[in-house]
Amino acid sequence: MRTVDVVEVRPLEGYRLYLKFEDGVEGEVDVRGLVPFEGVSAPLQNPACFAEVRVVADPGTVGWPNGADLDPDVLYAKVTGKRIAI
């Protein structure tokens, strides 16, 4: 699967993100199901910190000011229900 860039992100309640991808696909992802809130992701437990999410143009994903980010292929797979090609 080719990486499809995230072009829009909005934080939602319950550690969820609304995502829109460059191909028009959009949906929600529960971040709690993707990463443990430890290490670089530990600060994301704070709702104010979690709400600072933004699009990171290179590599086309989402991230936070503390350096935490998420794999765009994983996000796309979660939104579409398609498996990641390895």
Please state the CATH superfamily assignment of the domain spanning residues 6-80 in this structure: NE0471-like N-terminal domain (3.30.2020.10)
pLDDT at residue 22 in the model: 94
pLDDT at residue 79 in the model: 95
Q: How far apart are CA 64 and CA 61, in angstroms?
A: 10
Domain boundaries, the chain: 6-80
Give residue 2's pLDDT band: very low, low, confident or very high (50, 70, 90): low
Per cent of the chain over pLDDT 90 is: 85
Is 1 a residue whose pLDDT tops 70? no
Mean pLDDT of the chain: 92
pLDDT at residue 59 in the model: 85
DSSP symbol at 82: P
CB of 63 closer than 8 Å to CB of 70: yes
Is 66 a residue whose pLDDT tops 80? yes
Give residue 38's pLDDT band: very low, low, confident or very high (50, 70, 90): very high
